[in-house]
Chains A and B, each alone.
Chain A
Amino acid sequence: MAIPTLTRPAPHATTADSLTIRQPRKKLTVGRIAAIAVAAFIAVLWLIPFAWATATAFKTETDAAAPDVTWLPPSGFTPEAFVKVFQDGNIPLWTWNSLYTSAAITAITLVISALVAYALSRIDFKGKKVLMTVIIASIIIPPPVMIIPLFYQMLALNLIDTSWAIILPQVIHPAMVFVLKKFFDQIPRELEEAAVMDGASRLRIFTQIILPLSRPILAAVAIFVFIGAWNNFLWPFIATNDGNLLTLPVGLQTIKSAYGIQYAQNMASALLAALPLIVVFLFFQRQIIKGVATTGLAGT
């Protein structure tokens, strides 16, 4: 690896907006060319799985399973695997299931986390320290250790095979409460004082002053929670057996057995499942990267 001229972004840049590096054009030194070559080599390696999946998905099943492994199939490229997958009709249903469960998880998480974070940041109440300690301590709990009691709980609540079983256990994100609290802490209190003098209620101050000022962090938390929920496998896999409720990641697991060795259809399904988030990412790259970078380290 080559680390030549380590020139810096402008000094005023901070985490949030420095992810786009703006700097003067630099000379093409040998070191820089080497760095570009290494970066490009890694990028190509990282894109190969996508490329190979795409090439396979556009082959006929016969070509995909031909012992002669090749990028360019003898019978040419064809969208027939995608057509077949769509005719089965499962992928759109699974996408919809993933979309509304993830949206619900994100919405509930945001509301309950922002409310408690506001209390921890601004209100002086009895037991606050204990509450804070308990929430911090709970960050350590790994979700997989709860699958057995949670499943039993869902059975008892009669929620198994409903979307609620997928949604409800996924809305507790103690780390995100702290990301929000830290952000609220930085909002100057003077902004609220005038409203307090006018006799505004806490709830009103929260919704009309704090929340509008917190849009960037709310977006960051929403992105983080949404990606996690969209891709979660273990819990939705346990919580549902009903074919109509499967989320994309869980649904995809079933096609492996259904299609067996239909390689082109397998890859077409995988690509269709990958598509929504990749497209969203292409449009909102800056926000998503900023969101992940600001919330990412909060896990501990």
Chain B
Amino acid sequence: MSTSTLSRPRPETLRKPTSRTRSNLSGWGFAAPFLAFFLVFLVWPIVYGFYMSLKGKSLTGANDSLIGFANYAEALADADMWRSLGNTLYFTVISTVPLVLVALVMAALLNIGLPAQWLWRLSYFAPYLLASTVVSLFFTWMYNPQLGLINEFLTGIGLPRVAWLNDPNVAMWAIVIATLWWTVGFNFLLYLAAMQNIPAQHYEAASLDGAGAWRQFFSITLPQLTPTTVMIVLLQILASLKIFDQVYQMTAGGPGGSTRPVVQYIFETGFTGYRLGYSAAISYIFFGLIVVISVMQFVITRRRSA
């Protein structure tokens, strides 16, 4: 950033046009460092990625020619791409619901004003501070079919063992449970903050009218939380769509591709399959999906609030 443009103005020269130019210079001067990183590490990769998606490029450098939209055509006919996209959407649907509901329950319980607030917050929120790899190590161990704590508990109460991460019908749910444990604390904090901002007068008035606790929760707390709930759901959907870490670490996408999310497919096509151009094309299809979902969310929330 050039500091010379930010030098002290001399009042006698401060006529209109000069101050206008000065503002322009200092405005862009302050924006320059961010803008530089933004252009190099965000705008350029997005533009270049699209260019790559039009090429047959591989990591070895072979076939570096423009092939138009052939990569996209191939991707749209690629059953593995659709399957991984389906897995991502499936995970998003089945993870968002518990991640929002459990967070709401946790916050509602604490908002009653339980003693030892810090203890509850610590236990609900602490997992959010862990790296995905730590979470995966914990849960892979607990899900262990023979030596795992969870199956030990299940057999203890007379239920059959479950092959958590090795059963294609169960593996995604196992991932959801681990994810719920890991990240629900974040949504919980957002709910808790929002609940504590609801003015006390609402509740006092309701109490005078004889509304009980349940009644107050459903007729005051929940409606007042609507904007927060909308935001949390939106953020959660966008976060869930990016699923990769836990799956890659716990099941590597298996068994038989039953948990492989689209980000892992992008990763594998690019870095194990060395097909950078094709991988970039799938990235853009995924990106398009996220844009569509975001725009839909935007339109729906706009209409609601209008």
A, B: real partners: yes
**A21–B117 contact, CB under 8 A?**
yes
Residue from B106, B194, B203 in contact with A6 in the complex, judged by beta carbons closer than 8 Å = B203
Query: Chain A residues near B42 (CB, 8 Å)?
Result: 138, 141, 146, 172
Q: Quick one: CB contact mask for B118-136 with A, threshold 8 Å, 1 for yes?
A: 1111111111111111100
Q: From residue B82, how far is it (CB to closest CB) to chain A in Å?
A: 18
Q: From residue B54, how far is it (CB to closest CB) to chain A in Å?
A: 12
**A199–B130 contact, CB under 8 A?**
no
Q: From residue A55, how far is it (CB to closest CB) to chain B in Å?
A: 9
* A140 lies within 8 A of chain B by Cβ: yes
**B196–A52 contact, CB under 8 A?**
no
Query: Chain B residues near A145 (CB, 8 Å)?
Result: 46, 49, 266, 283-284, 286-287, 290
Residues of B in contact (CB 8 Å), total: 117
Contact stretch, chosen from B72-80, B163-171, B212-220 = B212-220
**B52–A125 contact, CB under 8 A?**
no
Q: From residue A161, how far is it (CB to closest CB) to chain B in Å?
A: 15
Known A-B contacts A113-B34, A169-B41; A148 and B280 likewise in contact (beta carbons under 8 Å): yes
* A225 lies within 8 A of chain B by Cβ: no
Query: Chain B residues near A144 (CB, 8 Å)?
Result: 242, 244, 263, 266, 283, 286
Query: Chain A residues near B193 (CB, 8 Å)?
Result: 15, 18-19, 293-294
Query: Chain A residues near B37 (CB, 8 Å)?
Result: 108, 112, 168, 171-172
Q: How far is the CA of A35 from the CA of B127 in the complex (A)?
A: 22
Residue from A20, A21, A253 in contact with B133 in the complex, judged by beta carbons closer than 8 Å = A253
Q: SS class of chain A's interface: helix, strand, loop or mixed?
A: helix
Q: From residue A131, how far is it (CB to closest CB) to chain B in Å?
A: 6
**B141–A1 contact, CB under 8 A?**
no
Residue from B10, B38, B52, B241 in contact with A152 in the complex, judged by beta carbons closer than 8 Å = B52
**B266–A118 contact, CB under 8 A?**
no
Known A-B contacts A46-B124, A52-B141; A13 and B196 likewise in contact (beta carbons under 8 Å): yes
Among residues 92 to 118 in chain A, which have CB atoms less than 8 Å away from a CB atom of chain B? 108, 111-113, 115-116, 118
Q: From residue B267, how far is it (CB to closest CB) to chain A in Å?
A: 7
* A10 lies within 8 A of chain B by Cβ: yes
Known A-B contacts A49-B181, A289-B125; A65 and B147 likewise in contact (beta carbons under 8 Å): yes
Contact stretch, chosen from A37-45, A79-87, A186-194, A213-221 = A37-45
**B52–A149 contact, CB under 8 A?**
yes
Q: How far is the CA of A128 from the CA of B25 in the complex (A)?
A: 12
Q: How far is the CA of A169 from the CA of B234 in the complex (A)?
A: 25
**B200–A11 contact, CB under 8 A?**
yes
Q: Residue on A with the closest CB to B279?
A: A148
Residue from A65, A120, A202, A252 in contact with B6 in the complex, judged by beta carbons closer than 8 Å = A202
* B226 lies within 8 A of chain A by Cβ: no
Q: Quick one: CB contact mask for A9-42 with B, threshold 8 Å, 1 for yes?
A: 1110111001111010010000110011011001
Among residues 184 to 243 in chain B, which have CB atoms less than 8 Å away from a CB atom of chain A? 186, 189-190, 192-194, 196-201, 203, 213-214, 216-217, 220-221, 228, 231-232, 234-235, 238, 241-242
Query: Chain B residues near A14 (CB, 8 Å)?
Result: 197
Q: How far is the CA of A39 from the CA of B124 in the complex (A)?
A: 10
Q: How far is the CA of A238 from the CA of B45 in the complex (A)?
A: 15
Residue picked from B11, B138, B270, B290, most chain A C-beta under 10 Å: B138
Residue from B26, B48, B140 in contact with A125 in the complex, judged by beta carbons closer than 8 Å = B26
Residue from A15, A149, A250, A296 in contact with B45 in the complex, judged by beta carbons closer than 8 Å = A149
* B63 lies within 8 A of chain A by Cβ: no
Q: How far is the CA of A138 from the CA of B27 in the complex (A)?
A: 20
Known A-B contacts A8-B203, A146-B42, A270-B138; A231 and B132 likewise in contact (beta carbons under 8 Å): yes
Known A-B contacts A69-B152, A115-B34, A296-B189; A128 and B27 likewise in contact (beta carbons under 8 Å): yes
Residue picked from A65, A169, A297, most chain B C-beta under 10 Å: A297
Known A-B contacts A112-B34, A116-B31, A267-B141; A148 and B131 likewise in contact (beta carbons under 8 Å): no
* B305 lies within 8 A of chain A by Cβ: no
Query: Chain A residues near B280 (CB, 8 Å)?
Result: 148-149
Known A-B contacts A13-B196, A115-B1, A169-B41; A4 and B231 likewise in contact (beta carbons under 8 Å): no
Q: From residue B30, how far is it (CB to closest CB) to chain A in Å?
A: 4
Query: Chain B residues near A178 (CB, 8 Å)?
Result: none
**A296–B190 contact, CB under 8 A?**
yes
Query: Chain B residues near A285 (CB, 8 Å)?
Result: 118, 121-122
Q: How far is the CA of A231 from the CA of B245 in the complex (A)?
A: 11
* A211 lies within 8 A of chain B by Cβ: no
Q: How far is the CA of A267 from the CA of B136 in the complex (A)?
A: 11
3 shortest A-B CB distances, which residue pairs?
A125-B27, A149-B49, A119-B30
- 24 A–B contacts from the bound complex (CB under 8 Å): A7-B112, A15-B193, A15-B196, A21-B113, A38-B109, A46-B123, A52-B149, A64-B147, A112-B34, A115-B31, A118-B30, A123-B30, A127-B28, A138-B43, A141-B42, A148-B270, A201-B9, A234-B244, A248-B131, A252-B137, A270-B133, A270-B137, A293-B189, A300-B231
Q: Which residues of A contact B (CB under 8 A)?
A: 1, 3-11, 13-15, 18-21, 23, 26, 31-32, 35-36, 38-39, 42-43, 46-50, 52-53, 56, 64-67, 69, 108, 111-113, 115-116, 118-120, 123-128, 131, 135, 138, 140-153, 168-169, 171-172, 174, 177, 199-203, 206, 227, 230-231, 233-234, 238, 248-250, 252-253, 256, 263, 266-267, 269-270, 273-274, 277-278, 281-282, 285, 289, 292-294, 296-297, 299-300
Beyond A148-B283, A149-B46: 20 further Cβ-contacts under 8 Å? A1-B108, A6-B221, A8-B203, A15-B193, A18-B197, A36-B115, A42-B106, A42-B109, A49-B127, A52-B149, A116-B30, A124-B23, A138-B43, A145-B284, A148-B52, A233-B131, A238-B267, A249-B132, A273-B133, A274-B131
